[in-house]
A = this chain, B = another copy of it.
Amino acid sequence: MPDATLWSALADPHRRAIVALLLQRPRPVGEIVEACGLSQPSTSKHLKVLREAGLVRVRQDAQRRVYALDPAPIAELDAWLAPYRELWNRSLDALGRRLDETPDDTSHAPEEPTTKD
């Protein structure tokens, strides 16, 4: 189960936006400030929360600090989600069987092999 700090870190929309930005590529703080439209102090505070949640790492590049996503907590979230995903797959399967109305059916197999556990 993920740490509480992980959930509360991701509960904030601005922080999720930062995380989405860092998914594209690592970025220095200035870029994040500009992209999010937040003030620099506020951004730094959000980055601190993300750091303490283990979601991002910092690399120093001259005076700049380049933030990058750390994939580990994502795995934690994924592990937390796993039992619920089973429930979801079950219900999807049942719904699909009952309604049979999916025209662009995505081949709902009983086992979902997309994640290499």
Q: Is the CB of B89 within 8 A of A69?
A: no
Bound-complex Cα distance A117 to B13 (A): 26
Q: Is the CB of B89 within 8 A of A81?
A: no
What's the tally of chain A residues with a CB closer than 8 Å to chain B? 29
Contact bitstring A1-43, B, C-beta under 8 A = 1, else 0: 1001001101101001001000100000000000000000000
Tell me the A residues contacting B by CB distance below 8 Å. Answer: 1, 4, 7-8, 10-11, 13, 16, 19, 23, 69, 71-72, 74-75, 77-78, 81, 83-85, 87-92, 115-116
Q: Ordered nearest first, which 6 A-B pairs have the shortest CB separation?
A: A11-B11, A71-B88, A74-B84, A71-B91, A74-B88, A7-B11
